[in-house]
């Protein structure tokens, strides 16, 4: 594969971006000999000089702006250069009303003002990003918007019994509010027995007022006060921890009783003796239960195990059942592991232990894996959650002493991230299918928290398609991957059928994926393909997502762009939207359904038959949105059979109810695959 070696361009400003990429060593171009024709002569591309042809320069009026809620503010941006750049502010996702005023000062300055009216607290920490772009490329600069507003208490819950008892709260305010607690009109002085635990994220304070072993003495009203220099707010909740013990009713001796002291003494002796016997009996039963009761492989007993911060801590695990006896707690069922301030039900390795309950509403059983059984080998990537590693895991299979796995770590252990971790673990545990990446369980004894998945040897499908396509050399940073040639029709159909099978299963579970794409599928031995996402794709394939906040450029992801193209723009908030895979109703109304996943599957087919090109690679994100909402669809790939393109068109019907059913799609692809035998030697 020669890539662009020896290619001769016409010297001019429109190929200046290729020259810059070669100078920066991007896409492997620094290893290739590129030329351009200047009149009758041919010169090396890196020697080309074009007058008045450079990246635009950009400057903004502030690095950050501090405003009060409901105020107005104006910021400005200047873009200069030759050719004269287009300059604009990205304000998608901005809640405040805004206007733009643009002025051009010839020959080479383009200025634009952005005015915000009645600024909303929801725009606190928003990045106002200005972009300057010409034919050579794009530059950007951002201003952080800091919006001050008085505190508000969004949530104050009644006490909830966990390991410790917790009054959970959520407070919002900027600057960060100061919190104080009051009990019986007196401020609570915090100590080891009553204390506040909380996390601050942007302008949210989330946490708990925790109590260690509270009693009826602690019953009463608890008032939370939140204040900053803009105001103070309070909210009260009643905390009920234990019932007060019944008072003993004094007995008045009658005249007949006064003459029988010996009988009274005898009665008291009998009562004391019976009470002592009952205590001894209960103690014996307790010892027997602890000695012969249910015990897990690793010595963890009881319905709740609270993990200490140290892996080999000498302190024993503490177990709590809050005095509740149900069929679940009586059965030798799952333990529950407390992660920070959230309890996750977990179960020991089902390969070794019988489990099962007859409860009407069984909890999701998330398998618990010991940290000492996980040996990290090397880093595979990094995503929104944290880093992903290749690892060896012991005691995971009854037939293997150890096996390779992929582990995803949680890099930010705040309360919100832990809740997301819990939700994802419970969700993945419920998804069991041959074409869904297998989730083995979690490791929560210490930080960081870890999820354990099966390891798919050949990585994500998008990279695999590019490595086995006609442009493999240039699309893998100039480094050829060992392969046995390009994928053929039979292999492509085999890949598509497996993804359709996984989608059919997801649909049967009433699960909407929302981000189906080849980057979120993984490839194993024997061309085995599974749907799965370690959260890495949003970082590795940032150009595939439309997000609010900043701008980013990409490499040659997707193929044959003839000029510099802005492949990823960020436009406010925190949601990253894969708009190139989304149907009109998802883009315009944020409506996601099984039918929107079918639309995405049509785009996956297009990716497969273009060897992993980016959909609409020749267009910027705003142009893609315009095309999709106006009813345009992707062209038929050059090597795609008409029957497969008909499936794509059936997936891309504008009305969701008119799209093909994934069950029918899977049947058609399976039949086409049977008519075209699959040769699996593509993997060696």
Tell me: is residue 573 an annotated ligand-binding position. Answer: no
Tell me: is residue 457 an annotated ligand-binding position. Answer: yes
**Under a CB-based contact definition with an 8 Å cutoff, are residues 493 and 514 in contact?**
no
Helix-strand-coil percent breakdown of the chain, rounded to 5?
Answer: 30, 30, 40
Cα–Cα distance for residue pair 138/155, rounded to 1 Å = 44
Ramachandran class of 137: left when φ > 0, alpha when ψ lies in -120 to 50, beta otherwise: left
**Under a CB-based contact definition with an 8 Å cutoff, are residues 572 and 94 in contact?**
yes
Q: Enumerate helices (H) and strands (E) in the chain, giving the number of each.
A: 13, 33
According to DSSP H, which parts of 33-129 are helical? Answer: none
Tell me: is residue 384 an annotated ligand-binding position. Answer: yes
Single out the residue of 621, 539, 525, 639 nearest to residue 581, CA to CA. 621
Tell me: is residue 519 an annotated ligand-binding position. Answer: yes
Ramachandran class of 291: left when φ > 0, alpha when ψ lies in -120 to 50, beta otherwise: alpha
**Under a CB-based contact definition with an 8 Å cutoff, are residues 643 and 490 in contact?**
no
Q: What is the maximal distance between C-alpha atoms in the chain?
A: 135
Tell me: is residue 549 an annotated ligand-binding position. Answer: no
Question: CB under 8 Å to 34, separation ≥6 — which residues?
Answer: 4, 5, 7, 9, 18, 22, 44, 45, 46
Structure tokens belonging to residue 392: 């060896």
Tell me: is residue 100 an annotated ligand-binding position. Answer: no
Tell me: is residue 419 an annotated ligand-binding position. Answer: no
Tell me: is residue 48 an annotated ligand-binding position. Answer: no
φ, ψ at 451 (rounded to 5°): -110, 140
Single out the residue of 94, 86, 58 nearest to residue 548, CA to CA. 94
**Under a CB-based contact definition with an 8 Å cutoff, are residues 332 and 293 in contact?**
no
Tell me: is residue 338 an annotated ligand-binding position. Answer: no
Tell me: is residue 458 an annotated ligand-binding position. Answer: yes
Tell me: is residue 386 an annotated ligand-binding position. Answer: yes
**Under a CB-based contact definition with an 8 Å cutoff, are residues 483 and 463 in contact?**
no
Q: Answer positive or negative: Cα dihedral of 46, 51, 53, 56.
A: positive
Cα–Cα distance for residue pair 554/566, rounded to 1 Å = 7
Single out the residue of 346, 524, 368 nearest to residue 436, CA to CA. 524
Tell me: is residue 213 an annotated ligand-binding position. Answer: no
Tell me: is residue 343 an annotated ligand-binding position. Answer: no
Cα separations in angstroms, 551 against 25, 100, 117: 21, 19, 24
Cα–Cα distance for residue pair 428/437, rounded to 1 Å = 9
434 given a catalytic annotation:
no
Q: Which helix (H) or strand (E) holds 498?
A: helix 489-508
**Distance, CA of 535 to chain centre:** 6
Which residue, chain included where needed, has tokens 């819950």?
157
Q: Which helix (H) or strand (E) holds 24?
A: helix 16-24
Please report the DSSP string for 442-471 in residue order: EE-SSSS-EEEEE--TT-BHHHHHHHTSTT
Cα–Cα distance for residue pair 583/598, rounded to 1 Å = 9
Sort strands 73-80 and 109-117 into parallel, antiparallel or unpaired: antiparallel
Single out the residue of 420, 418, 460 nearest to residue 437, CA to CA. 460
Find out whether the peptide bond into 199 is cis, omega within 30 degrees of 0: no
Q: Which of 164, 515, 544, 597 is catalytic?
A: 515
Tell me: is residue 380 an annotated ligand-binding position. Answer: yes
Cα–Cα distance for residue pair 20/14, rounded to 1 Å = 12
Tell me: is residue 403 an annotated ligand-binding position. Answer: no
Tell me: is residue 247 an annotated ligand-binding position. Answer: no
Tell me: is residue 388 an annotated ligand-binding position. Answer: yes
Residue 589 three-state SS: helix
Tell me: is residue 103 an annotated ligand-binding position. Answer: no
Annotated binding residues, written as ranges, equal 380-388, 408, 454-460, 519-520, 533
Annotated binding residues for ATP, written as ranges, equal 380-388, 408, 454-460, 519
Q: Which residues are catalytic?
A: 515
Annotated binding residues for Mg(2+), written as ranges, equal 520, 533
């Amino acid at each position: 594969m020669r890539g662009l070696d020896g290619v001769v361009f016409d010297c001019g400003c429109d190929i200046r971006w290729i020259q810059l990429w070669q100078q920066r060593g991007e896409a492997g171009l620094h290893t290739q000999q590129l030329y351009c024709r200047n009149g009758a002569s041919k010169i090396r591309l890196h020697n080309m000089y074009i007058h008045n042809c450079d990246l635009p320069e950009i400057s903004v009026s502030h690095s950050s702006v501090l405003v009060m809620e409901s105020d107005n503010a104006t910021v400005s941006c200047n873009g200069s250069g030759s050719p004269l750049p287009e300059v604009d502010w990205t304000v998608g996702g901005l809640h405040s009303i805004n206007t733009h005023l643009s002025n051009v000062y010839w020959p080479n300055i383009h200025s634009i003002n952005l005015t915000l009216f009645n600024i909303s607290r929801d725009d606190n920490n928003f990045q106002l990003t200005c972009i300057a772009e010409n034919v050579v490329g794009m530059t950007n600069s951002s201003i952080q918007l800091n919006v001050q507003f008085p505190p508000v208490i969004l949530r104050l819950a009644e006490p909830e019994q966990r390991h410790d008892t917790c009054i959970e709260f959520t407070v919002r305010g900027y600057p960060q509010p100061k919190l104080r607690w009051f009990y019986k009109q007196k401020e609570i002085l915090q100590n080891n027995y009553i204390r506040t635990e909380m996390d601050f994220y942007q302008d949210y304070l989330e946490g708990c007022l925790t109590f260690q072993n509270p009693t009826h003495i602690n019953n009463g009203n608890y008032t939370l006060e939140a204040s900053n220099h803009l105001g103070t707010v309070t909210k009260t909740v009643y905390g009920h921890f234990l019932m007060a013990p019944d008072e003993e009713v004094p007995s008045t001796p009658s005249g007949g009783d006064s003459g029988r002291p010996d009988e009274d003494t005898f009665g008291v002796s009998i009562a004391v003796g019976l009470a002592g016997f009952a205590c001894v009996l209960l103690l014996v039963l307790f010892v027997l239960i602890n000695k012969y009761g249910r015990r897990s492989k690793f010595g963890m007993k009881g319905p709740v195990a609270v993990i200490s911060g140290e892996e080999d801590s000498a302190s024993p695990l503490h177990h709590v059942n809050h005095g509740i006896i149900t069929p679940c707690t009586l059965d030798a069922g799952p333990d529950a592991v407390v992660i920070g301030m959230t309890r996750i039900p977990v179960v020991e390795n089902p390969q070794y232990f019988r489990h099962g309950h007859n409860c009407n509403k069984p909890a999701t059983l998330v398998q618990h894996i010991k940290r000492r059984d996980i040996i990290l080998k090397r880093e595979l990537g990094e995503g929104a959650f944290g880093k992903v590693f290749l690892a060896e895991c012991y005691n995971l299979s009854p037939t293997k002493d150890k096996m390779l796995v992929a582990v995803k770590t949680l890099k930010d252990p705040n309360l919100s991230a832990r809740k997301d971790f819990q939700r994802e673990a419970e969700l993945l545990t419920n998804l069991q299918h041959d074409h869904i990446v297998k989730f083995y369980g979690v490791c929560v004894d210490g930080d960081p928290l870890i999820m354990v998945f099966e390891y798919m040897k050949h990585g994500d499908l998008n990279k695999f398609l590019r490595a086995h396509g006609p442009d493999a050399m240039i699309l893998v940073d100039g480094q050829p991957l060992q392969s046995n040639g390009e994928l053929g029709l039979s292999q492509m159909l085999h890949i598509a059928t497996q993804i359709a099978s996984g989608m059919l299963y997801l649909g049967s579970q009433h699960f909407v994926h929302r981000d189906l794409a080849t980057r979120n599928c993984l490839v194993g031995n024997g061309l085995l393909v599974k749907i799965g996402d370690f959260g890495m794709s949003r970082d590795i394939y940032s150009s595939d997502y439309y997000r609010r906040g900043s701008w980013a450029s990409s490499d040659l992801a997707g193929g044959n762009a003839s000029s510099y193209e802005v492949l990823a723009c960020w436009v406010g908030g925190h949601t990253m939207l894969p708009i190139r895979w989304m149907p009109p109703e998802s883009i315009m109304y944020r409506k996601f359904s099984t039918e929107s996943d079918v639309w995405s599957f049509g785009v996956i087919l297009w990716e497969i038959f273009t060897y992993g090109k980016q959909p609409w690679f020749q267009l910027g994100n705003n142009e893609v949105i315009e095309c999709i909402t106006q009813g345009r669809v992707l062209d038929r790939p050059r090597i795609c059979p008409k029957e497969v393109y008909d499936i794509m068109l059936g997936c891309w019907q504008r009305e969701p109810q008119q799209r093909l059913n994934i069950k029918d799609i899977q049947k058609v692809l399976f039949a086409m695959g049977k008519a075209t035998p699959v040769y699996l030697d593509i993997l060696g």
